[in-house]
Amino acid sequence: MTHIRLENLSLSFPVLHGASRSLKKTLLVRAKATVTKPASVGGRMRLGAAASDAVLVQALSGLTFQIEGGERVGLIGHNGAGKSTLLRVLAGIYETTDGVLDIEGDSHALIDPQSGMNPELTGRENLHLFACRMGVAKEHIAGLEADVEAFAELGPFFDLPVRLYSSGMGIRLGFALATVPRPSILLMDEWFMAGDQRFQDKAKNRMEGMVDAAEILVVTSHSLPVLRKWCTRILWMEGGQVRMDGPTQTVLDAYEASLA
């Protein structure tokens, strides 16, 4: 049975900037309480064990929840609340050392529209690269090529190197390719809302086909209308933890009230 299960899952990033020593000093001269106090954004910082004195960004903290097949889950929260980090953990991009992550089903992440693309290759060549990576059978490649070329509507740019594309063109091609697979678990960042209005309308139709085919959807977005339309359940995140978890309407109403 397709599912996602997290138990007491945490993830922190050590601050490894070149100026970390001076940042550390700056933080250490302040009271410890100041470091751990919630900031005006959703992220949280803390000091590590006394022996190391490292400064850590606590991106996720003690997450425990389960998502079953059939659920459409939206992640919402302030900037830095941990939504994208959680999505990346679920996608296997970040490994966690604390807690349990149990995923049953094949997952596909729509996180970076340009991921896996070689900017030196043309759109068409990137498509062939993608087909090769996804193991698309030879007899299906021509159909895939026609589909992506028609959807992306890049005209002659389809045969130019991707590095010459505008950001919108890159999104069109990235979106067209990324929406080819039909995974049972679909993990999606809000970038799919980018692009001009006409493209967004087209993208919605294509995305709907992909979402309908998925057994589980996890999407992060700041757009309440998008979450209301697509999700059955919302996880409201704050400081790397779940502040509220429940039916879309209940959680989004509470979230909106908190913003008022």
Ligand X SMILES: Nc1ncnc2c1ncn2[C@@H]1O[C@H](COP(=O)(O)OP(=O)(O)OP(=O)(O)O)[C@@H](O)[C@H]1O
Contact residues for ligand X (CB under 6 A)? Answer: 13, 42-43, 57, 59, 77, 79-85
Q: Give whichever of 39 and 164 is closer to ligand X, judged by the CB atom.
A: 39
DSSP H/E element including 170: helix 167-178
CA distance 209 to 203: 10
CA distance 96 to 88: 11
Nearest residue to ligand X, using CB?
A: 43
Q: Give whichever of 44 and 108 is closer to ligand X, judged by the CB atom.
A: 44
Q: How far is the CB of 210 from ligand X (least distance, A)?
A: 22
Q: How far is the CB of 154 from ligand X (least distance, A)?
A: 28
CA distance 92 to 86: 10
Coil, strand or helix: which one is 260? coil
Q: How far is the CB of 85 from ligand X (least distance, A)?
A: 3
Residues with Cβ within 8 Å of residue 77, at least 6 apart in sequence: 42, 83, 236, 237, 238, 243
Q: Give whichever of 195 and 239 is closer to ligand X, judged by the CB atom.
A: 239
Q: How far is the CB of 98 from ligand X (least distance, A)?
A: 15
Q: How far is the CB of 82 from ligand X (least distance, A)?
A: 4
158-184 burial, b at 16+ Cβ within 10 Å, e below that, comes to: beeebeebeeebbbbbbbbbbbbbebe
CB atoms within 10 A of CB 234: 26
Q: Give whichever of 84 and 184 is closer to ligand X, judged by the CB atom.
A: 84
Strands (E), 18-117: 45-47, 55-68, 72-77, 98-104, 107-110
Cβ atoms of 46 and 226 within 8 Å: the answer is no
Q: Give whichever of 2 and 220 is closer to ligand X, judged by the CB atom.
A: 220
Q: Give whichever of 13 and 160 is closer to ligand X, judged by the CB atom.
A: 13
Q: How far is the CB of 176 from ligand X (least distance, A)?
A: 24
